[in-house]
Chain A
């Protein structure tokens, strides 16, 4: 392991760089493309390629968990979010802020600083990601047995804490996405009826769509009757 050189890259390095180019290119497309659904689909490409990078780095279990959780759950969740917020499906110009120059500057500055520091610090460090997987499958490497035994032997307390966190997130998501947490549909219709009974809403109907999106707003009919 002494003949390391930039000029003679190994096959794993070449594969890593090529897949890394896919990751970076699709990540740039995620944050720049002007079509929301295409951004979500480029996110699939990027996250899948990151899974391939995990495989190249010798983390097999994490790679499959990445495929399963990110590509299977998170992207589908984002798609549901796009659907439920009636996001613009086609190409649109309203995805970005008006002045993108500060964001470009911050991104380039972060990239410059981080890459400089990392290259300077790890200029002479080589490692072999696959060696640990091959030689001792029980105690080292990234296979399911090693990671699972480490997870349940040393990290069992964070693991259980994480289950509580997931439960809290589940309950929180349900509470947040219920339609009216405090007032039932009766109270809501009573509210809009009270708004209709006020002398204020004598203005034309299109100017008072104050009822939330779902209720068909009994107030305009009340006004017109």
Chain B
């Protein structure tokens, strides 16, 4: 197999993931784009492992490591997104302008708690 095919696939997939990270504003879609980036890296790892044929199998072993780290990263990232959504009412990254936690968490994008509060007051 010509070495250009898998390497170009990795490069193009990386570019698509880069576009996704920059162009999306929902945090979960950014996590999906990060998965694409990691998969581009693992395609390159597999290709070079098969191309260089080293005796330690570093390409495939490190691909397994990267997949494991990607799973851990997705779990932690989703926990962080969940915390962000709970505290600020939105998972859109361009609405998060303040570094600290808001003293008055105002759910901007979820009308449910406000409706609940008015229900209780009525």
Q: Which residues of A contact B (CB under 8 A)?
A: 4, 6, 9-10, 12-13, 16-17, 20, 23-24, 27-28, 30-31, 36, 39-40, 43, 46-47, 50, 53-54, 57-59, 61-62, 65-66, 69-70, 73-74, 77-78, 80-82, 84-87, 94-97, 100, 102-104, 106-108, 110-111, 114-115, 118-119, 122-123, 125-129, 132, 139-140, 142, 146-147, 150-151, 154-155, 158-159, 162, 165-166, 169-170, 172-173, 176-177, 179, 205-206, 208-213, 216-218, 220-221, 223-224
Contacts and interface: CB of A to CB of B under 8 A. Distances in A.
B13 A220 contact: no
A223 B121 contact: yes
Q: Which 9 A-B pairs have the closest CB atoms?
A: A31-B20, A107-B19, A103-B22, A220-B121, A111-B15, A114-B11, A150-B57, A169-B72, A103-B23
19 contacts: A6-B2, A16-B5, A27-B36, A31-B32, A47-B39, A57-B1, A73-B71, A78-B32, A85-B91, A86-B85, A96-B23, A96-B24, A107-B22, A176-B82, A205-B118, A211-B117, A212-B105, A220-B121, A221-B120
Contacts of A100: 23
Given A53-B9, A85-B82, A220-B118, A97 B25 contact: yes
Residue of B1, B47, B75, B80 with most chain A CB atoms under a 10 A cut-off: B1
Residue of A31, A61, A108, A212 with most chain B CB atoms under a 10 A cut-off: A31
Given A172-B79, A220-B121, A74 B16 contact: no
A70 B118 CA distance: 43
A82 B71 CA distance: 16
B24 to A, nearest CB: 6
A119 B1 CA distance: 14
Q: Which bucket holds chain B's interface residue count?
A: 35 or more
A9 B1 CA distance: 8
A59 B50 contact: yes
Given A24-B9, A81-B31, A173-B79, A127 B23 contact: no
A188 B48 CA distance: 55
Given A69-B70, A110-B14, A177-B82, 19 more contacts: A30-B16, A31-B29, A47-B39, A57-B6, A57-B47, A59-B63, A70-B39, A81-B82, A94-B25, A110-B11, A111-B11, A114-B11, A115-B8, A142-B60, A162-B65, A210-B104, A217-B113, A220-B117, A221-B121
Contacts of B14: 110, 114
